[in-house]
Amino acid sequence: MSSNKTEEIDLIVNHPKKAINKLALPIIISNLFMMLNNIIDGIWVAGLGPNALAAVGFVTPLFLALVGFANGLGAGSNSLIARCIGAEDYEGAGNSAIHSIMLSIIVTVISTVLLLIVLKSLLLIMGAGEVIEETMAYGTVVIGGIFSVFLPAMMSAIFRSQGEIRRASYPLMITAIINMILDPIFIYVIGWGVTGAAIATVISGTIPMLLMMYWMFVKRDSFLEVKMSEYKTNLGIYKDILVVGIPASLEQFIISFVSILMNYWLAILSGTIAVAAYTSTWRLVAIGISPMIGIGVAALTVAGAAYGARNLTNLKTALNYGLKLGMISSVLVCAFLFIFADPLSFIFSYSADSSILAPKVVEALRILCFFLLFMPFGVIAGNIFQAMGKGTLSLLITILRSFILEVIFAGIFAFILGLGAIGVYSGLVCGMSVGSVVGYFFINYYLKKHRDYFIN
């Protein structure tokens, strides 16, 4: 192992604030690239009209659920490896990395086969009947190429857990750049429409995946060496990864389910135009979520090492410093989205076919931007629980926030109070705010109750 890699490990273990700053910024930048890519995807598809945009909107929650599943497994791997590093069990950390890769391959194969079998029925249940041909054209390709999401997510988690943040983050930027280039070519120049957008998504994820595979399996100059030839099945390691990974993945499924439910409700209340407007707005709101995710992942890595070393001071620093950075980013982005809602709406309504979306996007954006304000409380709390290997507790926070409070508030405001689409947006904001604050109080209560576990 090189001295540079030793310094990166020392930073994670002994300097939590500096480590979060160093880890978070590249993650945030790469996430912003991905969100920008998502927005540009929507811009190009919007030129095909509201039906095409709605078709992508119906598939997007499923795709994001799979991305969340991949990231959830990555969180399990990140947590376990970071805890091993904190406890100075480097052999265990390397073995955990090998098992993480094998797990991602197994899950990729199973997920792809099962989803392709049930995809059409699932999309019809979600309310995509009016645009089922466009939806299937997009969804079949995206789901078939989901390997370009699962493997990079796991390799990124392995690099990140040992402080190799550039190798964890830069491929995501490359993914976004390639997709931005390929989208207009495949959609309009070649004339493949929404299918072209899906093909661009898969290709843009595959090329950086190959680069990460080269770093990990050919160049092998990381702090931890991943040698698949040394793989020997250890069910205990799989269990440790899944104890965090499954709850983290379920969290993303819950979030995606709520998004699917909101699409369905909006389709009932206002038709596919409302679904297209909501999907477009959510692409913009995701910009604000992106920095929070980056900060949370950085805090997870630092807190995992602190928990492995039984260092309560560093763990609480990861919690509170992560919250501070998250609140700053959320307030700034919320203000930006609210103030510039009108010009931002134009990027999804520039064509004659999609011009009807503009006022609906502005309406949604000026409410949903407040979704960001209290989000850091819940996100950071969940990441710290994951770092400690307490994935179930993180899941409970998400169930309370998204599956219970957001759905209840949205249902009451939209249907009982008769506020329609505005009620859906307002309910999501209220549910997120209350649930996130409760989650933050819960993590502090948990740490106080279990302080005997820590050395200091």
Per-residue pLDDT of the chain (456 residues; tens, 9 = 90+): 443 456 778 888 889 999 999 888 888 887 777 776 766 777 788 788 878 888 888 888 788 778 888 888 998 999 999 899 888 888 888 899 999 999 999 999 999 999 999 999 999 988 888 889 999 999 999 999 999 999 999 999 999 888 888 888 889 889 888 998 999 999 999 999 999 999 999 999 999 999 999 999 888 888 887 777 777 788 999 999 999 889 988 887 888 789 889 988 998 998 888 888 888 888 788 878 888 988 998 999 899 999 999 999 999 999 999 999 999 999 999 999 999 999 988 877 665 566 778 888 999 999 999 999 999 999 999 999 999 999 999 999 999 999 999 999 999 999 999 999 999 999 999 999 999 999 999 999 999 999 999 865
**pTM for the whole structure:** 0.79
| Tally of CA atoms within 13 A in the half-sphere of 294 that contains its CB | 30
Nearest residue to 272 via CA among 426, 40, 58: 58
Is residue 135 one of the residues assigned to a domain? yes
Residue 9 maps to a domain: no
Question: 347 is written with which tokens?
Answer: 């990027």
5 assigned to some structural domain: no
In this structure, how many other beta carbons lie within 10 angstroms of the beta carbon of residue 417? 13
Token pair listed for 253: 């499924």
Cα–Cα distance, 12 to 23 (Å, whole number): 9
Alpha-carbon distance 205 to 351, whole Å? Answer: 29
Q: Is residue 4 part of a domain?
A: no
Indicate the SS3 state at residue 418.
Answer: coil
Residue 7, domain member (yes or no):
no
- How many folded domains does the chain comprise? 1
Within a domain: 37? yes
Rounded to whole angstroms, the Cα distance separating 89 from 97 reads: 13
- Domain span at 41: 15-451
